[in-house]
Amino acid sequence: MTNKLRQEFIEKERQKLVDEQTHVRDELRNLREALQSEVDVEPDEGDAEVFEREKNSALIAVLEKKLNDVEAALKSIEKGGYGICEDCGKAIETERLEVKPDATLCLTCQQKAEQRARRNRPVRQIDW
């Protein structure tokens, strides 16, 4: 990829990231407002409001992680290191960046990281 094409690609990905950042911030604001507007009542077992509150809290955690990833990718663009694998230092595949603009690992390193995570996950015993 020529330098000019690379710059055009990075600019396109930067715009995707900015759009995603705006979207995630809006979603976070809406979820936080929904949580704040809820009245605290004594929960009953199986209460739908408690379930909804827990679901919103979990969504907030996921969106905060996504926002951190997007902001890290934008900083990487500013510093000139966007698209470089944090593990091996090789270029991240453009196809991967097109699908996941906030990717910090190339596909090979991502697969290795997921394998390590699976190996370190505790095995649940099922008692029959």
Residue type at 128 in one-letter notation? W
Q: Measured in whole angstroms, how far is the alpha carbon of residue 106 from the centre of its chain?
A: 16
**Full set of structural domains in the chain with CATH:** 3-120 (1.20.120.910)
Global pTM reads 0.78
Residue 36 has pLDDT above 80, yes or no: yes
Average pLDDT over residues 52-81: 94
pLDDT for res 100: 94
pLDDT digits (tens, 9 = 90+) for 81-106: 999 999 999 999 999 999 999 999 99
pLDDT for res 14: 96
Residue 38 has pLDDT above 80, yes or no: no
Question: Can you tell me the distance from the alpha carbon of 89 to that of 50, in angstroms, rounded to the nearest whole number?
Answer: 45
